[in-house]
């Protein structure tokens, strides 16, 4: 369970006697910034505790465990609402009444959550594998939902500013999708684990290309079946694939030539290739409007 931040632990200790007024004012500003950060951090952490189960017995909470049982099914139903009609009515408990699917799921989940809250007094001692799997699934659902909302915001911004979608994909979406991997890979390299960092540089995009693009195409073709999905290739996608193939082939040749060691100059070459790709992609997107 994600722990909520404590106000008292976040307050810095200031020694105003030796540091003077400037140090005291700086300390007050730092304290104010920490409290402002907690204003949005506490609600976000609380919502995550409601939606994502905690597999740790040390952080187990009876209230949050019951809240997970009540909220996770309805969140999953909302996530799959494009494939499941949530307003479909079914006979439930009362023979002559038909209730929508979302109300049935909400009633059953709240009923099970209430029973769990009354019965369970201590953390479960059984295997936590189901909890770990459900926590992973809910994390994926939340990340996918946030990514979808971010994509909708990007399309809205592009429509307002009259920008081509290719420019948004080449800049904001690409940077937002890769900044986490960038920070993690740099931290691993600085920690003396360059092999893991190198593997992550290629494993992350490979997962996005194979699993992400593959699952999206499978869902789209399943929705259009028996019709065929027509892939609309534009010049921006062709440029992206060309630069990707060029980068991978050149990296393979350079690493093989230097006996599987990556020289420093090749890092600068890769950054130069990316800048060239971004500039060419934006130019093509603007000229092809």
Q: What is the mean pLDDT of residues 151-161?
A: 77
> pLDDT at position 25, please?
72
Which pLDDT tens digit goes with each residue over 37-78?
777 777 778 888 888 887 777 777 888 888 888 888 888 888
Q: Which residue would you say has higher pLDDT here, 157 or 114?
A: 114
Query: For the chain, how many residues are written?
Result: 289
d(CA 1, CA 61): 8
Is the overall model pTM greater than 0.75, yes or no?
Answer: no
The rounded mean pLDDT for the chain is 78
Q: Please, where are the H alpha helices in the chain? A: 16-51, 62-79, 101-119, 129-161, 165-168, 174-190, 194-207, 213-224, 235-257, 264-287
Work out the angle at residue 224's Cα, subtended by the Cα atoms of residues 223 and 225, and round it to the nearest 5 degrees. 95
């Amino acid at each position: 369970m994600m722990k909520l931040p404590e106000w008292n632990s976040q307050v810095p200790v200031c020694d105003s006697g030796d540091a003077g007024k400037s140090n005291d004012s700086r300390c007050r500003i730092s304290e104010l910034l920490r409290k402002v950060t907690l204003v949005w951090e506490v609600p976000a952490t609380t919502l995550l505790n409601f939606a994502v189960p905690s597999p740790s017995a040390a952080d187990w909470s009876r209230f949050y465990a019951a809240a997970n049982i009540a909220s996770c099914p309805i969140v999953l139903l909302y996530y799959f609402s494009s494939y499941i009609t949530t307003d479909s009515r079914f006979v439930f408990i009362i023979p002559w009444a038909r209730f929508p699917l979302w109300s049935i799921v909400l009633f059953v989940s709240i009923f099970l959550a209430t029973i769990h809250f009354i019965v369970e007094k201590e953390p479960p001692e059984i295997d936590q594998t189901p909890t770990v799997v459900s926590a992973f699934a809910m994390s994926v659902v939340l990340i996918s939902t946030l990514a979808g909302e971010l994509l909708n915001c990007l399309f809205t911004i592009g429509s307002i500013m009259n920008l081509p979608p290719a420019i948004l994909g080449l800049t904001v979406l690409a940077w937002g999708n890769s900044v986490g991997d960038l920070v993690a890979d740099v931290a691993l390299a600085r920690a003396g684990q360059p092999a893991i960092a190198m593997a992550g540089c290629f494993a992350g995009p490979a997962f996005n290309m194979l699993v992400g693009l593959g699952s999206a195409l499978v869902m789209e073709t399943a929705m259009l079946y028996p019709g065929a999905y027509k892939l609309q290739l534009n010049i921006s996608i062709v440029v992206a694939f060309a630069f990707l193939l060029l980068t991978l082939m050149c990296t393979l040749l350079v690493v093989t030539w230097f006996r599987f060691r990556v020289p420093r100059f090749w890092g600068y070459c890769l950054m130069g290739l990316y800048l060239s790709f971004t500039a060419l992609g934006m130019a093509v997107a603007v000229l092809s409007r």
